[in-house]
A and B are shown apart, each in its own frame.
Chain A
Amino acid sequence: MLMKLKILMSKLKILIELFITFSKIGAVTFGGGYAMLMILLREIVQNKHWATEQELTDYYAIAQCTPGVIAVNVATFVGRKTAGNLGGIIATLAVVFPSVVIISLLAGVIKAYASLEWVKNAFAGVRVCVCVLIFNAVIKLFNKAIIDKKTLIIYLLVLAGAMTLNISPVVFVILAGIAGIILSVKKS
């Protein structure tokens, strides 16, 4: 009985540690991407020893090409490895927890001041910046994704489709996945 209680307590302790660590990661990650990988390396590999550097790099690589937000996917991977399925769920909830708090507070404030002239001007300026940031993100992705003529054709077809047809992005995702399988399996 005492033994069982001890095991239960140590499990609970790991889950709490997972929650705290991933909340911290969620709170200090700015904009995601490679900056986040550095933070993960420090917290997960060096401080907590929950995964090796090689494992974390593998998780990151797979998280990039599975559906969903990269940081969320990595959190699920590490949580699962550390404390099973429940660990995966706890780590994932933890990594989004700061976002929910911060954005909810901020969205309320923005809503209250949105009609002020200078706030409108500020957002008009920021929208220009957002265009440039999306443009820069597209260039980075484009360089990694468009590696030959076939991928260029997929890119152009989906772009034309997304701009002219009023259909769900899901359709493009499914069609592109099937096209990718047919094109690359035929090649090999």
Chain B
Amino acid sequence: MMYLKLFLEFFNTGLFAIGGGMATLPFLYDIADRTNWFTRHQLADMIAVSESTPGPIGVNMATYAGYITSGLTGSIIATLGLITPSIIIILIIGAFLYAFRDNKYVNGAFYGLRPASSAMITSAGLIVAHVTFLNGNNLNFKAVALAVILLIFTHAIKFTRGLHPVFWIAFSAIVGIIFKF
């Protein structure tokens, strides 16, 4: 029964998360809020691990969430749940590819879906920011300082701007250990 629930939750995520790996984030937060499978706090760590290991981020997050929920079997079932809608939808679309791409209703739907997806990822990001930068009601100054440094490195400095996220994750882990975050 647990496995069926797990499969259906991730099937739902795979069916409605549009716009790549990060788009699964709002759904994972929704699952965290409704079930006691994993916490919002654990989710933030999952994102970090998923970004810094091989494989698509969305798949990694589903695997991780499934593992935390119920071990290896859970990770397999969550991943299968996530990819099942993709397989069904793409096999159907594949049969009439260009008709799909040029359809005005399909394009219209995505005109609305893209900003909605951006907004939901923004909201998920704000949740992560809340647990990261606030200790109760106090601002965590070390965290803010590190964020400012990372923003400068990933935007303003040409030499470091193109570096892979895994580099910044390792950098932040080391800073966290040295300065006792």
B6 within 8 A of A: no
B97 touches A62 (CB 8 A): yes
| Bound Cα distance from A154 to B93, whole angstroms | 27
Which residue of B55, B166, B181 is within 8 Å of A121 (Cβ)?
A: B181
B119 touches A162 (CB 8 A): yes
Shortest Cβ distance from A166 into chain B, in angstroms? 7
A136 touches B112 (CB 8 A): no
A61 touches B94 (CB 8 A): no
Instruction: State whether A155 and B116 are in contact (beta carbons under 8 Å apart), knowing that A103-B64, A131-B147 are contacts in the complex.
Output: yes
B109 touches A32 (CB 8 A): no
Q: For the complex, would chain A's binding face be called helix, strand, loop or mixed by DSSP majority?
A: helix
B148 closest partner in A (C-beta): A132
Q: B interface, how many residues as a size bin?
A: 35 or more
Q: What is the 8 Å Cβ interface bit string for chain B, positions 75-113, against chain A (1 contact, 0 not)?
A: 110010011011101110110010011001101111111
Our count of residue pairs bridging A and B at CB distance below 8 angstroms stands at 356
Interface residues of A in 76-130 (CB under 8 A from B): 76-77, 80-81, 85, 88-89, 92-93, 95-96, 98-100, 102-104, 106-108, 110-111, 118, 121-130
**Selected interface stretch from A4-12, A13-21, A42-50, A175-183:** A175-183
B37 within 8 A of A: no
How many residues on A have C-beta within 8 angstroms of the other chain's C-beta atoms?
A: 98
A35 closest partner in B (C-beta): B164
- A-B pairs with lowest CB-CB distance, top 7: A125-B176, A180-B112, A176-B116, A99-B55, A145-B114, A68-B86, A124-B181
Between A and B, 19 residue pairs with Cβ closer than 8 Å are A29-B55, A64-B19, A64-B20, A67-B16, A69-B14, A99-B60, A102-B55, A103-B64, A104-B67, A122-B174, A126-B48, A129-B172, A137-B121, A145-B114, A159-B120, A169-B16, A176-B117, A181-B108, A183-B112
Please report B residues at the A interface, Cβ cutoff 8 Å.
12, 14-22, 24-27, 30, 33, 44-45, 47-51, 53-60, 63-64, 67-68, 72, 75-76, 79, 82-83, 85-87, 89-91, 93-94, 97, 100-101, 104-105, 107-126, 128-129, 131-133, 143, 146-147, 150-151, 154-155, 164-166, 168-169, 171-177, 179-181
